[in-house]
Each structure stands twice: as C-alpha cells, then as structure tokens.
A = this chain, B = another copy of it.
C-alpha cells in the first residue's frame, strides 16, 4: 500500500468557504481513501461541518486561524494582513515544512499566488511561476499555461513554461512524450510576436527531451492538437475565459432552442440521456483546478465559484501531482536545461539575425 498522502487545505477559500470545501474534501476522501488532510481556518465554522462529515473529521487535523483572506482583498492587502497567520499562508507553509505534499485553495487567486511565491520561492532558474489549466479537448485533455500568473513574457520564460508544462502532462496523463506547442496567430515560422518566434527556435534547436510540435492557433486548443500549449499569461487568461464564455453561450442557445415548442420539449425528454452526457462533457467542474508551476512545492487553485464536486476535482489533480512527484520531475528537467541551453544560445544569435529580416518581410 502507498504511504498516506497529506494535503493542506485552505478551508476558508471559495465563494461559499467551508460549506463547499468540507463536502468537497469528503468526496475526495471517498475516491482516495489513503489521503490525510490538514485543514486551516475558523474552527467555529469548520467544527460543525466536521460533525456532519465524520469521514473528513477522521482523516484530518484542524488548525484554527483567526485570519483568512477575503475573495475581494487585494493581494498586497492579503499579504499584509495574512502573513504568518492566515489560513492561506499556513496551508502553504505546511508544504514548505514538508508536513504536506501539496496545498489547495479555492480562495482569492492573486493572494494565493503571491503567498505561494513568498513562502515557497521560485525554483532555481525560474524567474516567474506559471498557472497551468487543464483544458478539455476533442482528444481528451491538454495542459495550457500560463493562464494568468504572469503578464508579459520573453522567449526564455516560454521555454521554462514548456519544460514545466511537459512535466505536468507526463504526471497527469501518464504519457511518456507529450507534444508541446506554442500559441501563436499562425503556424508559419515567420508569424506572430518576436519572443514567441525566438522561443520556437529555442525549442526546435535545443537538445531538450521535449517533443516540440511547433506553433498552434486558438482553435487548436479545443481540437487538442498538442498535449501542452504554452503562452504568456495575458493571452492565456483571455483565451481560457473566452472558451468558458463561448461554452456558456452555446449552452444557453441550446436551452432556448429545446424549450421553444412542445415537440422540441418532447425531443429533449427523449434525448435526456444524451443531454446528460453532453452536460458532463461541458461541465467546467470536471476540469476545475489550476496548478502553480515553478515553485518549490505544489500549489493548486480551485475555481472560487465551484461547488463540492468541482473542488473534489481540483483535489484529484492535487493528488495526481503529488503522487507523481511533479516538483522533482521539473527540477530534474530544469537542471538538464541549464547545460543544454548554452548550446541553444550559441545557435540563437544567428537565428535571431535571420529572424529580423524575415520579420521585416511580414509587414
């Protein structure tokens, strides 16, 4: 039997706080009986819930905190008030002190990110961490990063994201050589912004053990053309929310269409099973859970507006990442990169020169 895995949970996170988190943890314990938890938060709110969920009570240690971060606190505010004392801070500290393998919260994303960076620090060689999302595709699922942790990037940062995303895809999907693509506005080498083109050449020419596919476009995300899609956080965040918005829009069209006459309503009733399957496919809860990559520890972010089912899904990801030693995998790959990158940088100077003239032609 595997050793118990310990997850530290910010029980105060999410729009509904402990009322959503504790039932979510309960579902997760049903799926992963070997799990143990450290719950951080307000005892007064959490203790009565533990009475209702004896399985959670049995498998967890509750650490009371007087302070927690609100969903609309500014990260700087949260850090000032919550440092060393808040449920978020302490949940992450448990990972730093190796009392837990991974920390999870459905709380304020900005605050969670800032605290995670503050407590765990970035890995050697990584300038900025990324947030990776799991994107449902026609082929299954892909890892997409960064979806909003960084704003702006350079070529080297994108290469780091590629390395980290690739390691995550290996852990999550259990495939040996996941394919990696760079998000761009066209697939030809001359397309797009300079730093994306440079990153493309670096990945293409490097000796890194990465299956680099090339550029992909926005519609390749849903198609699942590659296992890992790499982009900078501003664009990644907008792409993610655009896809979520489009899915909601089409679901609303479908509802309206199905209720427009009694015949279509009858059709709906007959096709109910099919719709249930469709709903399952489209359910954002099933791909809930972002992972911060590039820190000395694993930190998972659940959607703030999710319910217990969605939170359990984010817990699944946390379990997967921890069981597969994601941080170890990434450190190993980053270490390998250091030696391989010297080679690339030599080649890169020349490649850069060529690119300038190609870029000029693009106009």
Chain A residues near B (Cβ < 8 Å): 74-76, 110, 114, 137-138, 148, 151-152, 183, 185, 190, 192-193, 217-223, 231, 233-235, 237-250, 252-254, 257-258, 260-261, 263-264, 266-275, 277-278, 281-282, 361-363
Contacts and interface: CB of A to CB of B under 8 A. Distances in A.
Given A244-B218, A267-B269, A260 B277 contact: yes
Contacts of A246: 221-222, 242-243, 246-247, 250
* Dominant secondary structure of chain A at its interface with chain B: helix
A223 B248 CA distance: 9
6 contacts: A218-B242, A238-B239, A246-B246, A257-B277, A266-B271, A270-B270
Given A193-B152, A242-B219, A275-B257, A237 B270 contact: no
A252 B221 contact: no
A264 B274 contact: yes
A185 B75 contact: no
Given A185-B148, A237-B185, A245 B221 contact: yes
A74 B40 CA distance: 58
A74 B361 contact: yes
Among A260, A263, A267, A362, find the residue whose CB has the most chain B CB atoms closer than 10 A: A267
Nearest to A231: B238
Nearest to A72: B188
B257 A264 contact: no
Copies in the complex: 2
B277 A273 contact: no
B261 A249 contact: no
A181 to B, nearest CB: 13
A248 to B, nearest CB: 7
Contacts of A137: 249
Contacts of A152: 193
Contact of A278 (B234, B257, B277): B257
A216 to B, nearest CB: 10
B273 A245 contact: no
Nearest 7 CB-CB pairings of A with B: A218-B241, A267-B271, A219-B245, A267-B270, A222-B249, A264-B274, A218-B242
Given A243-B246, A273-B263, A192 B76 contact: no
A244 B219 contact: yes
Given A257-B274, A261-B273, A266-B267, 5 more contacts: A217-B241, A239-B239, A257-B281, A260-B277, A267-B271
Contacts of A76: 361-363
A198 to B, nearest CB: 14
Contacts of A151: 185, 192-193
